[in-house]
Amino acid sequence: MTLIDVLGTALAALASNVVRTLLTMLGIIIGIAAVITLTAASEGAQRGVGEQIRGLGSNLMFIRPGLEEADGIQLPGSGVNLFLEDSRAIEAADFEYIEAIAAQGTIGGPGDFIFAQAIYQGQNRSTMLLGTEPTYQFVRDFYVESGRFLTEVDLTKKALVVVLGGEVADELFDTEDPVGKTIRIAVGAGPISIGFNFTVIGVMERRGASANTDQDDVIIVPMPSLQARIALVRDPRGRTNIDQINIKLSDRGKADQAKEEIGQLLMALHAVDEPDFRIQTQSDILATATEVERSLQVLVVSIALISLFVGGIGIMNIMLVSVTERTREIGIRKAIGAKRMDILWQFLVESIVVTTAGGALGVLVGIAVTQIAERFAIGGDNAYAVTPLWVMVGFAVAAVTGLVAGVYPAWRASRLDPIEALRHE
Amino acid sequence: MISLHGVTKIYTVGTQRVAALNGVDLEIADGEFLSIMGPSGSGKSTLMNIIGCLDRQTEGKYILDGLDVSRLGDNQLAIIRNRRLGFVFQSFNLLPRMSAIDQVALPLLYRGASNRKKVAAAALELVGLSDRAHHKPTQLSGGEQQRVAIARALVARPSIILADEPTGALDTKTSMDVMEVFRQLNEEMQMTIAFVTHEHDVAAYTRRIVSLRDGKVVGDRPNVPVYAGRPAAPVEEKEAAP
């Protein structure tokens, strides 16, 4: 008996009871679809995070205040110990691996209790005010699309000019050209707010939104203007608090050296023994994010595998019932010359065919589910990535499940005594 | 060529040992057409199972075509059943949901033969069922089902066809049709056919009647076959296909 004959026999048996075959497959279909969908979601999230981090600009290094992410609300200035002066000092140290440096301070970002609101002719939008320097667009690899970016002159004049993020420009101006228009920006907390008029000088290119931040939802102003007009809290020694120093390195390979040397410099400036700031490179951030995603994936995959296991038990159960139900058939087959192995293979292949077909259907269902979820934008754009790896894993697991679940029933069938089996009603 | 010497089959039921067969000696030559008769419990089904290599004797010797069957393992017995033996059962024992031609091709499948459909179609033609090749058992009458079973038994050109009360589930008219098929196979193709039956009408078709009682052969006589209620027709006269 060739494999094709065995396959033909198995297919004929499965086709003769389509409803049962489909019900048997259901567990595997659901299991594999779950594997595909969940891994696609997790893979998509991972990719999204990766893209977002890579999108920050290449060879990027960030310095942030040490207590920036302490839990709960943080008052402006409290525990913040990163200053514009630090940025200047790093610049002055003239490290050969620093290509460019840009300090930034924000108001009205996510989680900030101070709000910033942009108003133009009755349209308004809460957004984030980002004070920075002309080098920002180069360091962050994030350029102006129309009009111009900040210049040194804007800084020295503390000019009341802004560059709008794409999202803000769309919302306030719709199809109108924002460049040259005057908008009002109100900054405040609770019921108290103060407002200033700014002239729009440019609109940034669009970066797109990701899971937790929207780089297009921003208004960029010259750092000194932000400090002067909209009081950024200064510390008692007159230094200016900032949120972040962005550094572009000329050579990614120097990241560790840069971290070490800049760290030493800042510790000396702050007169501390332990860093009261954090230096992160792009790859650090990527590594942390990847780690989180990995553990998420482990969780997701184990849930999916449990559902597959349950499906496998269901198949074994049905195969056992099927052997009992077809005892007479087994007797007849043995009487006309089927060997034990023929019977064993028949039932084993049946089981494997059921699970493999179930696996294939599961893959299709999984892909369909991700497509539907994508269409209805559940979880954001490009939130799902069906990977060939997981399709193959799902398929292989389904086949192995069939093998494992089919072995015992098939063995039982092959051991049946032909005379007993023929008498069976 | 089949020869049994002192074949004994003992079943152990609880602590009791029951001899279903008690030293049976029997020779069946090629081309024979015989019936094995006996009342219920005479051991004819057990004898049938042993000749059919579905069961093994407790004692004695069974030589099939010069092969000592008692020495063979399960797989070799399966091969013997596949190549040298054909079974026809009282309850037809066709596989449900399988077309007639596939049923008939099944022994060839286990043999690994090529050309299965063609050979199976020829076998169906022999039993006069060419037009029913793609019908399933549920779409066939009892007589037709039994003829499919006969085709399945003979498709592999076995040394002997063993029929266990093949007409037991059929009415008289259909029984005669089925017996006619057997007669033709024996006369025209020199197939060896052995019936197990307790019906004298059926036994009357055969050329030799072996009687069994309490696990022993108590009678073995030649018989002048009577076909469809009249004396045997000369061999050269062709009967119309049923």
pLDDT digits (tens, 9 = 90+) for A338-358: 999 999 999 999 999 999 999
Q: Is the pLDDT of residue B107 over 80?
A: yes
Q: Do A339 and B79 touch (CB under 8 A)?
A: yes
Q: In what order do the strands lie in the sheet with B192-197?
A: B85-88, B160-164, B192-197, B33-37, B208-213, B216-222
Decide if A332 touches B, using CB distance below 8 A. yes
Q: CA A189 to CA B115: how far, in whole Å?
A: 90
pLDDT at A36: 87
Q: Which of B54, B80, B101, B104 to mutate to test binding with chain A, by most A CBs within 10 Å of its CB? A: B54
The distance in angstroms from the start CA to the end CA of chain A is 27
Q: Which of B82, B85, B150, B159 to mutate to test binding with chain A, by most A CBs within 10 Å of its CB? A: B82
Higher pLDDT, B231 or A21: A21
Q: Which two tokens stand for residue A40?
A: 């696609």
Q: Which two tokens stand for residue B171?
A: 């009415």
Nearest CA-CA distance, residue A321 and chain B, Å? 17
Q: Closest partner residue to A5 among B74, B93, B109, by Cβ?
A: B109
Decide if B53 touches A, using CB distance below 8 A. no
Q: Mean pLDDT throughout B200-225?
A: 90
* Three-state SS annotation for B89-140: CCCCCCCCCCCHHHHHHHHHHHHCCCCHHHHHHHHHHHCCCHHHCCCCHHHC
Q: Is the pLDDT of residue A68 over 60?
A: no
* Three-state SS annotation for chain A: CCHHHHHHHHHHHHHCCHHHHHHHHHHHHHHHHHHHHHHHHHHHHHHHHHHHHHCCCCCEEEEEECCCCCCCCCCCCCCCCCEHHHHHHHHHHCCCCEEEEEEEEEECCCCCCCEEEEEECCEEEEECEEEECCCHHHHCCCCEEEECCCCHHHHHCCCCEEEECHHHHHHHHCCCCCCCCEEEEEEEECCEEEEEEEEEEEEECCCCECCCCECCCCEEEEHHHHHHHCCCCECCCCCEECCEEEEEECCHHHHHHHHHHHHHHHHHHHCCCCCCEEEEEHHHHHHHHHHHHHHHHHHHHHHHHHHHHHHHHHHHHHHHHHHHHCHHHHHHHHHCCCCHHHHHHHHHHHHHHHHHHHHHHHHHHHHHHHHHHHHCCCCCCCCCCCCHHHHHHHHHHHHHHHHHHHHHHHHHHHHCCHHHHHHCC
* Strand (E) or helix (H) holding B202: helix B200-203
Do A199 and A160 touch, CB atoms closer than 8 A?
yes
Please tell me which residue of chain B has the smallest CA distance to A327: B95
pLDDT at B13: 85
Q: Is the pLDDT of residue B199 over 50?
A: yes
Q: CA B68 to CA B56: how far, in whole Å?
A: 12
pLDDT at A110: 72
Do B62 and B72 touch, CB atoms closer than 8 A?
no
Do B27 and B2 touch, CB atoms closer than 8 A?
yes
Q: Is the pLDDT of residue A267 over 60?
A: yes
Weakest-pLDDT range from A124-133, A349-358, B8-17, B221-230: B221-230
B227 forms beta bridges with B230
Q: Tell me the C-alpha to C-alpha distance, in Å, between residue A92 and each of A121, A264, A396.
A: 44, 15, 60
Q: Do B78 and A338 touch (CB under 8 A)?
A: yes
Q: Do B49 and A419 touch (CB under 8 A)?
A: yes
Q: For a pLDDT cut of 70, what percent of chain A falls above it? A: 90
Query: What residues in B contact A337, CB-CB < 8 Å?
Result: 78-79, 81-83, 107, 110-111, 156
Q: Do A340 and B95 touch (CB under 8 A)?
A: no
Decide if A3 touches B, using CB distance below 8 A. no
Q: Do A419 and B54 touch (CB under 8 A)?
A: yes
* B29-58+73-231 maps to CATH 3.40.50.300: yes
pLDDT digits (tens, 9 = 90+) for A106-142: 888 777 778 888 999 888 888 888 999 999 988 888 8
Q: Mean pLDDT throughout B101-121?
A: 91
Confidence grade of residue A80 (pLDDT, cut at 50, 70, 90): low
pLDDT at B104: 94
Decide if B111 touches A, using CB distance below 8 A. yes
Q: CA B125 to CA B104: how far, in whole Å?
A: 11
Decide if A346 touches B, using CB distance below 8 A. no
Q: Which of A336, A349, A414 to mutate to test binding with chain B, by most B CBs within 10 Å of its CB? A: A336
pLDDT digits (tens, 9 = 90+) for A164-209: 998 899 889 988 899 999 999 988 887 888 888 999 999 999 876 5
Angle among Cα A59, A63, A66 to the nearest 5 degrees reads: 145
Q: Tell me the C-alpha to C-alpha distance, in Å, between residue A7 and each of A411, B145, B147.
A: 17, 26, 28
**The residue type at B229:** G
Higher pLDDT, A293 or A169: A169
Q: Nearest CA to B74 among B61, B55, B47, B60?
A: B55
Q: Is the pLDDT of residue B237 over 50?
A: no
pLDDT at A77: 47
What is the Cα Rg of chain A in Å? 32
Torsion of CA B28, B33, B37, B41, to 10 degrees: 60
Nearest CA-CA distance, residue A4 and chain B, Å? 11
Q: Are strands B192-197 and B33-37 parallel, antiparallel or unpaired?
A: parallel
**The residue type at B194:** A
pLDDT at A310: 84
Q: CA A224 to CA A219: how far, in whole Å?
A: 15
Q: Do B93 and A328 touch (CB under 8 A)?
A: yes
**The residue type at A73:** I
Q: CA A201 to CA A169: how far, in whole Å?
A: 11
pLDDT digits (tens, 9 = 90+) for A312-348: 888 888 889 989 999 999 999 999 999 999 999 999 9
pLDDT at A65: 84
Q: What are the backbone dihedrals phi and psi of residue A141, each rounded to the nearest 5 degrees, phi first?
A: 60, 45
B61 forms beta bridges with B5
Q: Which two tokens stand for residue B150?
A: 């006969």
Q: Is the pLDDT of residue B239 over 60?
A: no
Q: Is the pLDDT of residue A75 over 90?
A: no
Q: Tell me the C-alpha to C-alpha distance, in Å, between residue A209 and each of A48, A49, A141, A202, A320.
A: 10, 11, 16, 20, 53
Q: CA A387 to CA A393: how far, in whole Å?
A: 10
Q: Do A335 and B111 touch (CB under 8 A)?
A: no
A58-67, A269-278, B1-10: which is most confident: B1-10
Q: CA B182 to CA B177: how far, in whole Å?
A: 9
Q: Is the pLDDT of residue A220 over 50?
A: yes
pLDDT at B236: 45
Q: CA B60 to CA B9: how far, in whole Å?
A: 9
Query: What residues in A contact B54, CB-CB < 8 Å?
Result: 334-335, 418-419, 422
Q: Is the pLDDT of residue B105 over 90?
A: yes
pLDDT at B214: 92
Torsion of CA A298, A299, A303, A304, to 10 degrees: -40
Q: Nearest CA to A408 among A337, A359, A348?
A: A348
Q: Which of B81, B83, B161 to mutate to test binding with chain A, by most A CBs within 10 Å of its CB? A: B81
Decide if A2 touches B, using CB distance below 8 A. yes
At B20 the three-state DSSP class reads: strand
Q: Is the pLDDT of residue A69 over 60?
A: no
Nearest CA-CA distance, residue B79 and chain A, Å? 6
- Average per-residue pLDDT in chain B? 88
- For A143-172, give one letter per residue: b (16+ CB within 10 A) or e: ebeebebbeeebbeebbbbbbbbbbbbbbb
Do A226 and A105 touch, CB atoms closer than 8 A?
yes
Confidence grade of residue B81 (pLDDT, cut at 50, 70, 90): very high
Decide if B93 touches A, using CB distance below 8 A. yes
Q: Is the pLDDT of residue A233 over 60?
A: no
- Average per-residue pLDDT in chain A? 84
pLDDT digits (tens, 9 = 90+) for A366-409: 999 988 888 887 666 667 888 888 888 888 888 888 898 899 99
pLDDT at A241: 80
Nearest CA-CA distance, residue A353 and chain B, Å? 19
Nearest CA-CA distance, residue A408 and chain B, Å? 20
Q: Mean pLDDT throughout A292-319?
A: 83
Q: Which two tokens stand for residue B9?
A: 């089959």
Decide if B152 touches A, using CB distance below 8 A. yes
Nearest CA-CA distance, residue B77 and chain A, Å? 8
Confidence grade of residue A9 (pLDDT, cut at 50, 70, 90): confident
B3 forms beta bridges with B27, B63
Q: Is the pLDDT of residue B76 over 60?
A: yes
Q: For a pLDDT cut of 90, what percent of chain B falls above it? A: 55
Q: Is the pLDDT of residue B194 over 90?
A: yes
Q: Which two tokens stand for residue B68?
A: 């000592």
Domain boundaries, chain A: 3-52+290-423, 67-275
Q: Which two tokens stand for residue A340?
A: 């034990």
pLDDT digits (tens, 9 = 90+) for B159-170: 899 998 888 888
